Amino acid sequence: MLGAARRSGCVLGQLMQTLRPAATAARSYSATPKEMTVREALNSALDEEMSADPSVFLMGEEVGEYQGAYKITKGLLDKYGPDRVLDTPITEAGFTGIGVGAAYQGLRPVVEFMTFNFSMQAIDHIINSAAKSNYMSAGQISVPIVFRGPNGAAAGVGAQHSQCYAAWYAHVPGLKVLTPYSAEDARGLLKAAIRDPDPVVFLENELLYGESFPIKAEVLDSSFSVPIGKAKIEREGKDVTITAFSKMVGYALQAAEILSKEGISAEVINLRSIRPLDRAAINASVRKTSRLVTVEEGFPQHGVGAEICMSVVEDSFEYLDAPVERIAGADVPMPYAANLERLAVPQVEDIVRAAKRACYRSSSMAANA
C-alpha cells in the first residue's frame, strides 16, 4: 500500500506539468434531451470539470475499471486515463489521507466513498486534516477536496449501511455540506463543490441516481453551477413551510400535492446546502406562512431539523401561529426487515399529518395519501 501511495503521489505531483486541459466539447442544446437522470448529471459534471481543469482527479474503490459502483464515473477512465481516475484498495483511511495530502499541494481530488457509512473509517482525515487546516495554518493552506458518495437509507441494507451523515458533518466548522435532490442540483452543486477552495462533503442518495428530472438548456452549459448556501423554493405556498433535503424533497412535494386537494397551500423548500444553511430563505418563508414542518431521514436528536427549528425560534418566533413540527427517522438503528424499515424512515403520509397538525386541521388522511 505504501509503495502504491508513493507511486500515486509521484504521478499526482506531476499532473500540473504533464497534463493539458482538454477542450470542452461544444454542446448543441437543440439536440439535448429535456430530461436527465441524477447519475447522468453527476457524470457530466465530473467530466466537464476534469476537462476544464487538469488538477481535478478522481479516486476511490472501483471508480476506474468497474466505472463506479453506481456507474457515476462511467467512461472517465477511458477518457482521462489511470493517472486521473485512480482505483484504490479497500482502505478508506488510506486513500482519503492521500487525497487530502494532494489537496494540500494544490490538486483538486474528488474522493468517492462507496457509501458514506464507510467514511467513518476516514473521519479523522475529513475533520482533523481537511476541515481544520485552513484555520490552523492562518489561511496559508487551502484544501480544495470533495468527498462524495451515496448517503442515507437505500433499501434492505441494514443498520450499518443506512445512516444519514448530514448532521454529523454539518456540525464541523471548515466543512461545507451539500445535499442534491434533482439532476439540476446534482450537476450544479457538484461543479460548485469541485471549484470551491474548501473541503466539501457531497451527500448523494442511491435511490435518486436513476431518477429523471426535467432540465433547462442553461443547466447544460459548462459554466453552470448552483451557488453553495442557497436553498431553492420548489413549490410556493402560503399556509405552511416544509423544509427538506435530498430524497425527502420528493416526498415533501408529494405531500404538498395531497395537501392542496384539501385546501392547504404548502411551500416546499429544497435546502440543497446543509452547511452553510440558508437561514434567510427559511425564515422568509416562515414569516409568510407562519408554520413550519422540517423533514429529514436522519435521527431526530441534534439533527438538521433541530437546527432549523432553533433558527426560526431565534429569528421569527413572533411570526409562528403553531408549534414547529419535526419529521425525522426513527431513533433506532435501521431495521433490516422491509416492513420495519418503512416504519423507520419518514413517509409522505407522515408529512401530510404534520402539516395538518400545524394548520389545526383533522389528522385523518385523504383517501389517496
User: Would you name the residues annotated as active-site residues?
Assistant: 92, 161
C-alpha cell at 12: 499526482
Question: Rounded to 5 degrees, what are φ and ψ at 297?
Answer: -80, -25
In one-letter notation, the amino acid at residue 295 is V
C-alpha cell at 337: 426487515
* 191-217 per-residue burial string, b: 16 or more CB within 10 A, e: under 16: bbbbbbebbbbbbbbbbbbebbbebee
Q: Where are the alpha helices (DSSP H) in the chain?
A: 2-13, 15-18, 38-52, 76-80, 92-104, 123-124, 133-136, 166-170, 183-195, 247-260, 279-289, 304-316, 338-344, 348-358
Quick one: which of 233, 252, 261, 242 has its CA closest to 366?
Answer: 261
Which residues 6+ apart lie within 8 Å of 314 measured at CB?
A: none
Question: CB neighbours (10 Å) of residue 31?
Answer: 6
Q: Are 267 and 241 in contact (CB under 8 A)?
A: yes
Say how many Å lie between the first and final Cα of the chain, rounded. Answer: 53
